[in-house]
Amino acid sequence: MSAEFQITSPKIALNEKVYKAFKSVRSVTSGRNLDVIRAALQQQAANNGVQIDIVPLTADKTCVRWSVLLDGIEVGTITETDISKQNKPLVCPACGKPNTDEHAARTNAHDVVSASIWRGVFDEIFNRWLNHIGYIAGRKIPAFEEQILGVTELKNSLLAVSQGTTRSSYDGAATQGDRRTCKSCELLQGGLSLIQRVKVARELSGGAQKDISQRLIGLNHGGEADYLGYKKSLIEEITRVRIEDVVRGIAIELNNQYKYKQYNAEWAEWEYKPKFEFMHNIGFDGNAYFTFLDDIRETAYQHATLDLSGPELTRIKKELRVPVPESM
């Protein structure tokens, strides 16, 4: 896969601030993948105090296209190509090796914020927001049984959004593009965020560092000798961009009125179905909706930036054949 940012001549005159930002984003012409380009554009716009919007245009079997707007003015498009499942050989974007077994299953890697991290995020979020539903002074209220089922259903729905792997779900999927990572790379990277993998790679040394870093970080995110060239701020921005994709998808899911609401003809209004009344009670149709989304953003970033320690770090180092002290 490859991604490219193509400049479009603005159709209207740009004010001084937007023009300065436009000159800055013109330096971002290509990257290893969509995430790198989007994150770099976000940084350039923020540095110039201009609002940037990167919105989906089209997604088909061979490419994905996004429109780039500065303060609402289109200045270019990002195109990601060579993502068809029909491409032969199927090259793993992480290790760069072709899949020699055409019958072997490929995985769509969550290579910035993993699916397992998102599971932990929603366990924490729901414990904080919804674990009290149906309980008063520690006692379960039978009348709330249906709503307890609703809480479980909502959690599963949000998890499905965060763990989506289809290209078309750029609003929500934890992976963008058809990243058909090989099984060995998925097993190695699957439980870690990009930030965590870079942190581990920076602890390594010796002649095998290049190969180890490539396997751990992946070619698509600079996993060669140049991985140190990735500024910390860019790695963090890539992470925030991908978290925001999931938050956007969750916002869309929470506003699915046909799923969570029913029409009350007597009152001529939409109301939550009985098992989802808790969404009204805790204010999902008010300010709490935005607080909930902010909580997801912050919690996901916290989980993605946790320092690795204990069994998980030991497992990764052993998988990479890095000497591990007996005390670990």
Same domain, 23 and 117: no
Out of 23-37, 124-138, 186-200, which region has the weakest mean confidence (pLDDT)?
23-37
pLDDT in tens, 206-226: 656 667 777 788 877 766 545
User: What percentage of the chain has pLDDT greater than the value 90?
Assistant: 13
- Asked if residues 54 and 1 have their Cβ atoms less than 8 Å apart, the reply is no
- Asked if residues 284 and 270 have their Cβ atoms less than 8 Å apart, the reply is no
Domain that holds residue 56: 2-81
- Asked if residues 239 and 112 have their Cβ atoms less than 8 Å apart, the reply is yes
pLDDT-based confidence at residue 167 (cuts at 50, 70, 90): very low
Same domain, 76 and 90: no
Residue 121, pLDDT score: 94
User: Can you name the residues that pair with 263 across neighbouring β-strands?
Assistant: 270
Residue 304, pLDDT score: 93
Which of 45, 65, 81 delimits the end of a domain?
A: 81
Same domain, 156 and 217: yes
Which of 81, 112, 130 delimits the end of a domain?
A: 81
Residue bearing tokens 């990009």: 194
Same domain, 285 and 188: yes
Residue 84, pLDDT score: 53
Phi-psi region of 84 (alpha: psi -120 to 50; beta: other; left: phi over 0): beta
Same domain, 201 and 144: yes
Q: What is the pTM of this model?
A: 0.82
Residue 81: strand, helix, or coil? strand
As a whole number of angstroms, the distance between CA 210 and CA 24 comes to 32
Higher pLDDT, 244 or 186: 244
Report how far Cα 67 is from the mean position of its chain's Cα atoms: 19
Q: According to the per-residue pLDDT averaged within each range, which of 49-63, 124-138, 269-283 is highest? A: 269-283
Q: What domain count does the chain have?
A: 2
Which of 27, 50, 81 delimits the end of a domain?
A: 81
Same domain, 118 and 51: no
pLDDT-based confidence at residue 154 (cuts at 50, 70, 90): very high
Higher pLDDT, 13 or 171: 13
The radius of gyration of the chain from alpha carbons, rounded to an integer in Å, stands at: 22
> Given a cut of 60, is residue 229 above it in pLDDT?
no
Same domain, 112 and 201: yes
Same domain, 10 and 128: no
Residue 90, pLDDT score: 65
> Given a cut of 50, is residue 274 above it in pLDDT?
yes
Same domain, 18 and 109: no
pLDDT-based confidence at residue 228 (cuts at 50, 70, 90): very low
